[in-house]
């Protein structure tokens, strides 16, 4: 990173590659709620979006069925509604806040949804800004109608790996959710929110074969679901800490192929919002 004529540039071996923006630090990140909970545990402000982490950690990890490449800690419970409300009230008044994401960690969708509904309702009744949910897919599809009714505007159910044999091996909990369950949730979600990018699903680049990865992109597009490409990154203390990410040229090739497939179906590579591209592959040429 280098400052050139007061602009910040991303550099490689001191050679400027492109202009970049640095996200400002969040002054409330280290504050605590009245109950003593750190805001950094329950929410995360990212440019124009506040992520509400309603679930503490990952339920699949708690069951000893966590994804082998993921460093999220185990958890089997929810953050207190009082704390979440305080975070929504505090950040909700900020000018730059455009929307909310309810997600973070992983719980069990059918068990979680009453709470997700309560949070979405509270946001709509107080701040009244758009709400995006990122969860596992519900089996009871009427939940999606309820979410739409209480103001949810976008939904993501991330399949991560299209090769389901590999998914079951690397993601013993989440990978056991069948593609049929995802497909039914996608079908209802697209009926409710449309096929122009409001319904999305992440696929990891660099864990499965290029063939199954691209089949996954096509499978999503065919259903009106916008794929998001998430690069594999090795995290410490996981089974994959020593595995290299995919080579840059291969990532670029897969990105281009995925874009071509999206183009054939009139879909966009998600997310549509530039500020929400964290953790996804976006290429500036």
From the list 18-26, 40-48, 63-71, 242-250, the region that binds ligand SF4 by CB under 6 A is 63-71
Residue among 127 and 177 whose Cβ is closer to ligand SF4:
177
Contacting ligand SF4 within 157-176 (CB under 6 A): 171, 174
From the list 54-62, 127-135, 161-169, 213-221, the region that binds ligand SF4 by CB under 6 A is 54-62
Contacting ligand SF4 within 216-275 (CB under 6 A): none
Q: How far is the CB of 211 from ligand SF4 (least distance, A)?
A: 23
> With contact defined as beta carbons under 8 Å apart, do 246 and 205 qualify?
yes
Residue among 46 and 76 whose Cβ is closer to ligand SF4:
76
Residue among 70 and 117 whose Cβ is closer to ligand SF4:
70
Burial (CB count <10 Å: 0-12, 13-18, 19+), residue 61: buried
Contacting ligand SF4 within 84-113 (CB under 6 A): 105-106
Q: How far apart are CA 118 and CA 114, in angstroms?
A: 6
| Three-point CA angle 238, 242, 245, nearest 5° | 100
Q: How far is the CB of 172 from ligand SF4 (least distance, A)?
A: 9
Q: Give the torsion through C-alpha atoms of 224, 214, 276, 51, to 10 deg.
A: 80
Interface with ligand SF4 includes 72 (CB under 6 A)? yes
Residue among 60 and 113 whose Cβ is closer to ligand SF4:
60
Among 33, 55, 66, 120, binds ligand SF4 (CB under 6 A): 66
Q: How far is the CB of 78 from ligand SF4 (least distance, A)?
A: 15
Q: How many Cβ atoms from other residues are within 10 Å of residue 62's Cβ?
A: 19
> With contact defined as beta carbons under 8 Å apart, do 50 and 44 qualify?
yes
User: What tokens does 2 get?
Assistant: 């280098």
Among 67, 143, 147, 269, binds ligand SF4 (CB under 6 A): 67
Q: How far is the CB of 222 from ligand SF4 (least distance, A)?
A: 24
- From residue 136, alpha-carbon distances to 108, 111, 153, 157 in Å are 7, 11, 17, 5
| DSSP H helical ranges for the chain | 39-42, 59-62, 81-92, 109-126, 142-149, 164-170, 179-193, 210-222, 248-264
Q: How many residues sit in the footprint of ligand SF4 (CB under 6 A)?
A: 11
Residues that bind ligand SF4 (CB under 6 A): 58, 60-61, 66-67, 70, 72, 105-106, 171, 174
């Amino acid at each position: 990173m280098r400052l050139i004529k007061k602009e910040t540039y991303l550099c490689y071996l001191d050679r400027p590659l492109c202009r970049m923006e640095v996200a400002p630090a969040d002054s409330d990140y280290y504050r605590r709620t009245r109950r003593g909970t750190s805001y950094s545990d329950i929410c995360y402000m990212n440019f124009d979006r506040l992520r509400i982490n309603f679930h503490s950690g990952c339920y699949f990890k708690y069951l000893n069925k966590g994804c082998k490449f993921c460093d999220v800690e185990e958890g089997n419970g929810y953050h207190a509604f009082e704390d979440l409300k305080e975070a929504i009230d505090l950040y909700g008044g900020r000018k730059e806040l455009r929307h909310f994401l309810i997600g973070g960690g992983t719980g069990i969708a059918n068990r979680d949804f009453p709470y997700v509904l309560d949070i979405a309702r509270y946001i709509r009744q107080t701040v009244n800004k758009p709400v995006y949910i990122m969860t596992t897919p519900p089996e009871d599809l009427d939940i999606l109608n309820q979410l739409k009714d209480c103001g949810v505007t976008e939904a993501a159910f991330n399949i991560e790996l299209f090769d389901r044999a590999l998914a079951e091996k690397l993601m013993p909990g989440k990978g056991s959710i069948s593609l049929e369950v995802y497909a039914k949730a996608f079908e209802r979600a697209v009926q409710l929110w449309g096929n122009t990018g409001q319904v999305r699903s992440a696929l990891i680049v660099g864990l499965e074969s290029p063939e199954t990865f691209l089949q996954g992109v096509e499978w999503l597009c065919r259903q009106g679901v916008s794929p998001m490409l998430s690069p594999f990154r090795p995290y410490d203390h996981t089974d994959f800490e020593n595995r290299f990410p995919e080579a840059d040229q291969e990532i670029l090739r897969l990105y281009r192929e995925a874009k071509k497939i999206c183009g054939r179906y009139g879909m966009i590579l998600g997310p549509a919002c530039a500020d929400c591209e964290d953790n996804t592959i976006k290429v500036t040429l």
